[in-house]
Structure 1
Amino acid sequence: GTLAILPAHALRESVQATDGNGNPQFLSTWGTNTNPQDIVSNGPYRLQKYTPAERVILQRNPYYWRADAQGNPQPYIQRIVLQVIPSSDNQLLRFRSGELDSLRVNPEAFGLLKREEKRGKYTIYNGGPMPSIRFVGFNLNKARNAQGKPFVDPIKSRWFNTLAFRQAVAYAIDREKMKTNIYRGLGEVQHSPIAVQSPYYLSPEDGLKVYNYQPQKAKQLLLEAGFRYNSQNQLLDWDGNRVQFTLLVKSDDKSRVDAAVQIKQDLSQIGIEADLQVLSFNLVLRKLLSTRDWECYVGAFGAGVSEPHSIFVFWYSGGSFHQFNQGPQPGQPPLEGWEVSDWEQEIDRLFNAGIKELDQSKRKAIYGRFQEIVAEELPVFFLVNSLDFQAVRDRIENIKFSGLGGPLWNIDELRIAEN
């Protein structure tokens, strides 16, 4: 599970006491300004130092319980330094210069690093498709803010809340081209909100609806829904409004920005004008979860692998990360006119049933139905997942790389070669 065991002797009082707002003091007991010596750890490492926006330094926990077959205490590595480097270009430069021992390899850097693999004394491991799912989604929120202003222009909200419109957009995006051009062929087209590695994954072969590239079908769906084209092949809605909206994407992810550029180009082929809005991660997050003033978004979320309920906050209608129809949240002004669709309520019911069901075959059926609803209703449309490549220096021994656990999942067993 994802619920950690926490030390009662250090935190019990903070759980029982409350602050001026009535919230448990526990929520603010350990923060970025806490003395590392005050943070208790029963894992293989404990925090030595944290420098915001720079690095995290972990030191071996001398009280860790594990030992190898010869009785030697584990882990063997005394210290781990995690560098915070937002720019993928800077990450690449620092790895090539020898400053970093491990690097997640983006598709655009794969060819270069593969050629230098022997000389650089590292190995590139392939963990299969990353369990982080990329998507494009519309803001389906019909609510108004505290001043009575709609989060989404009502004209555009009507488009976004029309299923045929969302389906048309899905059919208009060429994901195979995206896989080839942006991911250099080093990716897989994603169809489901659950990772392909999961035992709960529902594949197209098992009946999951897919939206392969069919621009003519996209146009047909739009015409049948009441849209029309003018003499310049621009798409107009029922009242003659030009179909145009902003496409939001965060600036620090090159492949995601490149995907947004292609989506803009693909949509222009069916008469839709998408205006790119490239913002910093913090500004994007503010729009998604606070001001809610966005229209279309290229995003990503971690997929449920061993446990589908781990993506609960994105799909549950009251979830704190239910981006495509973000509801009222604690500490925020009330919303006027927020609506939860029938299919959202059904997803709520399925998640509530799935978390209580112990029979694995029944759980698989429950989460299979969840995936079917997402494919049918298309609150978001899935794009391409990069293959998970990790470059690790050969001086680090006993690497057993996994796309799910990364290069350090077996940290107890890792050693640094003496020579």
Structure 2
Amino acid sequence: MNAELIPGLAKSWVVSPDGFSVTLHLRHGIKWSDGEPFTADDVVFTYMDVVGNDDIANNLRDGCTVGDKFVQVEKVDDYAVKASVTEPYRPLLRDCIQGVSLLPKHKLAKYVAKLNPGAGGNRDAVQSVVNNYRDDLQKADAQALVALDAAIKQLAQAIEAKNADQVKAAVDPLQQSLDQLIQALAPGDARDDLEKAKSYADRALQSAQANQFAGVSPDTFNNTWNTNTPPEEFAGLGPYTLVSYQTGQQVLLKRNPYYWRVDADGVQLPYFDELAVVIVQNIDTQFLYFKSGQADMYPARPEDWAEVLGAAQEESWRTIKDGPPYGNTFLVLNQDIAKVKPGDPTYQALQYVMRAKEFRQALAYSINKQAMSDNIYRGLGTPQWAWISIPSPFYDAESANQYPYDVSKAKQMLDDLGLTDTNANGVRNITDKFLIAQKACNDSVDCAQKFGPQDQREVSFPLATNTGNTIREAMSQQIEHDFKDIGIQASYLPQDFNALVTGLTGGQYGGVVIGFTGGVDPTGFNVWKVDGFYHFWRYSSKDNPPEWELRAQQLQVDGSKVFDVQEAMDKYYKEFIQLDSEYLPVIYLINQIFLYAVDQCLENSQNFRPQSGNLPQWVAFGERTWWQRTDDCKAKLEQKGRLGAGPK
């Protein structure tokens, strides 16, 4: 594996001499899984009508935005598209073009408001925003909310009457009520979404004046394909199609009869007729499934590796061990933690603590990574010191500030900050000295009035990770213990993974241990832009960004324009790594090396290796795996009910 880009749906591509565009030539004759032709129209639809559409929530837009302009994708002919940017952009092919899954226009265009404009759809969008925040709006200005509801009702009647003048008469008071509520709300999601509601009202008027009175709501597409959608409604270009989804249990896939890839002998892929993906959140249970033969492959934990090796010969397992994968595991602290408990003076004071880089550095020194590597990873992990993935040619540990385990230094740094245990209960307090130094208050009297008595202001917060991931659970428990040694109370709180991610991306957390997938290129605009979708440590940066974050963002932007790796490293990424590791928006932990155990009868599994983007192996290699037909394997697979298609 060398992470080189190879032809796929595009059989070839040509980069313009100035590097500002790339023309991709698509394969002819490819069909969606429902038999409809795949053409350039689908590519243009995916980029220009979905990913680049501000109405549609997605985390892909940042990676396809160069400067402040989204990549422009245009149709050249039925089987060629041209993607253009306004300045050189190294990750254009790898991150933007390769990293976006294409969507079928014939299935989804009818759900996109941009392609189906109308006053009614925009009215529905205004109503949806109001319903989502009704309780907040009621508290902010009940009278304005009553007026807003009346204006929305008036707008609905005007649209039903198909009268543009009446629509205008309803939009004006609607906008006024929205303005009143925006003024009454504190900065945050509710205020931002009410600003969107104003734009929906404007669009409703524009549509009415264009005699477009029906239309699709701007939020319709976001809810179109979900877990309740019948399988036959989906259409894809991959090797398998959906048969059924049992919530929390299993995804059953069948062979896509229109899949375009063939093997070296011309046999259409994939080899398997069916593929069952069992959903098991608890890793202990995953291992039991593999050992009992209910699963055929297992991404092993370090704690399982000795058992896997010991049983491999008897159980006919193939074992694969490789270097660290792409991605990282880290602890992130919420620098907007006051949002978790609005009006709570202790959380307001704690926000100043979370934002102090010296505090985060002290915590980094307090984490015993060697113990974490030895006890949790059994020596099968490596410490990471920066965001960029270790296998990437852009990773440079020597440029990073490193934080070797040093409890004395951590304690001294906290003492120097003014985070001391004022009441001798073992937990440090947020003292007046600290808050005055942070310019949060002027003197002790002012501090007490704003934040309450210092003896009641403790450095204490919840520490969450996803339940069932035993490695992250163990890491969190060690971190809780390590922080306790320096007087910081981080209360371990396992959560369901979906709830964890919702809290993380909604800013409703204290500290979280989690991981991100990664790739070859270090560009991560959805994380490092101050308004990025995953700028989760401090979403408020979009309104008031710290200087170092602006510099990190600029280094990401400037670095993405340079195609030579060493030049980009010397000019931009070494400084980026230094900033990242100095300010520690996240505290990097340990990256496990690649460990895999596979049923030996599953042929081609010997090629399993870490993938850019951390694709599961059944996704990355699934189309080219098959069952061996040796006598031993055939008997074994017949017993397990697994024997299916293979290469002819």
TM-score, normalised relative to structure 2 = 0.58
Verify: 1:101 aligned to 2:198, yes or no.
Answer: no
2:358 corresponds, among 161, 164, 167, to 164
2-side partners of 1:357 and 1:12: how far apart?
A: 36
* Contact 1:142/1:150, CA 8 A, preserved across alignment: no
* Contact 1:179/1:384, CA 8 A, preserved across alignment: yes
Structure 1 residues 267 and 312: CA distance shift in structure 2, 3 A: same
2-side partners of 1:126 and 1:213: how far apart?
A: 28
What letter corresponds to residue 171 of structure 1 in structure 2? Y
Give how far 1:108 is off.
1.9
What letter corresponds to residue 522 of structure 2 in structure 1? P
What letter corresponds to residue 217 of structure 1 in structure 2? K
SS in 1 for 2:299: strand
Structure 1 residues 151 and 142: CA distance shift in structure 2, 3 A: farther
What letter corresponds to residue 7 of structure 1 in structure 2? P
Give how far 1:401 is off.
1.0
Equivalent position of 1:273 in the other structure: 489
Equivalent position of 2:29 in the other structure: none
Equivalent position of 1:298 in the other structure: 513
Q: Which segment drifts farther, 45-54 or 237-246?
A: 237-246
2-side partners of 1:294 and 1:104: how far apart?
A: 29
Deviations 1:15-62 (A, max 9, x none): 323653242644333222223233222222222222222211222222
Deviations 1:62-107 (A, max 9, x none): 2222223332222222221111111112111111111100111112
Equivalent position of 2:617 in the other structure: 407
Q: List aligned pairs for 1:192-271, cutoff 5 A.
A: 192-204=386-398, 207-228=399-420, 235-239=428-432, 241=455, 242-271=458-487
* Contact 2:282/2:467, CA 8 A, preserved across alignment: no
Structure 1 residues 362 and 40: CA distance shift in structure 2, 3 A: farther
1:75 corresponds, among 242, 251, 270, to 270
Give how far 1:321 is off.
2.4
2-side partners of 1:142 and 1:254: how far apart?
A: 26
1:375 corresponds, among 581, 587, 610, to 581
2:378 corresponds, among 167, 170, 184, to 184
Give how far 1:390 is off.
1.5
Give how far 1:229 is off.
5.4
Give how far 1:395 is off.
0.8
Deviations 1:199-241 (A, max 9, x none): 221222xx22111111222122223333445667754443354
2-side partners of 1:263 and 1:8: how far apart?
A: 48
2-side partners of 1:151 and 1:325: how far apart?
A: 19
Verify: 1:397 aligned to 2:603, yes or no.
Answer: yes
Instruction: Name the % identity.
Output: 28
Q: Radius of gyration: which is bigger?
A: 2
Q: Which segment drifts farther, 175-184 or 15-24?
A: 15-24
2-side partners of 1:363 and 1:351: how far apart?
A: 10
2-side partners of 1:361 and 1:328: how far apart?
A: 31
Equivalent position of 1:64 in the other structure: 259
Give how far 1:378 is off.
1.0
SS in 2 for 1:278: strand
Equivalent position of 2:533 in the other structure: 320
Give how far 1:137 is off.
2.2
SS in 2 for 1:324: coil
What letter corresponds to residue 417 of structure 1 in structure 2? Q
Verify: 1:120 aligned to 2:336, yes or no.
Answer: no
Give how far 1:367 is off.
3.5
Q: Which segment drifts farther, 184-193 or 236-245?
A: 236-245
Equivalent position of 1:110 in the other structure: 305
* Contact 2:328/2:516, CA 8 A, preserved across alignment: yes
Give how far 1:156 is off.
1.5
Structure 1 residues 283 and 369: CA distance shift in structure 2, 3 A: same
Q: Which segment drifts farther, 115-124 or 276-285?
A: 276-285
* Contact 1:104/1:389, CA 8 A, preserved across alignment: yes
Q: Which segment drifts farther, 34-43 or 369-378?
A: 34-43
Structure 1 residues 8 and 356: CA distance shift in structure 2, 3 A: farther
Q: List aligned pairs for 1:350-389, cutoff 5 A.
A: 350-364=555-569, 365-389=571-595
2-side partners of 1:9 and 1:406: how far apart?
A: 29
Deviations 1:397-418 (A, max 9, x none): 1220111255342334322112
Equivalent position of 1:334 in the other structure: none
2-side partners of 1:88 and 1:29: how far apart?
A: 32
Equivalent position of 2:108 in the other structure: 11
2-side partners of 1:199 and 1:191: how far apart?
A: 15
Q: CA RMSD in A?
A: 2.7
2-side partners of 1:407 and 1:283: how far apart?
A: 26
Verify: 1:136 aligned to 2:331, yes or no.
Answer: yes
TM-score, normalised relative to structure 1 = 0.87
Verify: 1:2 aligned to 2:99, yes or no.
Answer: yes
* Contact 1:130/1:403, CA 8 A, preserved across alignment: yes
> Which consecutive unaligned segments of at least 5 residues does structure 2 have?
1-97, 126-216, 433-453, 635-648
2-side partners of 1:180 and 1:347: how far apart?
A: 33
How many residue pairs align between the two structures? 405
What letter corresponds to residue 617 of structure 2 in structure 1? P
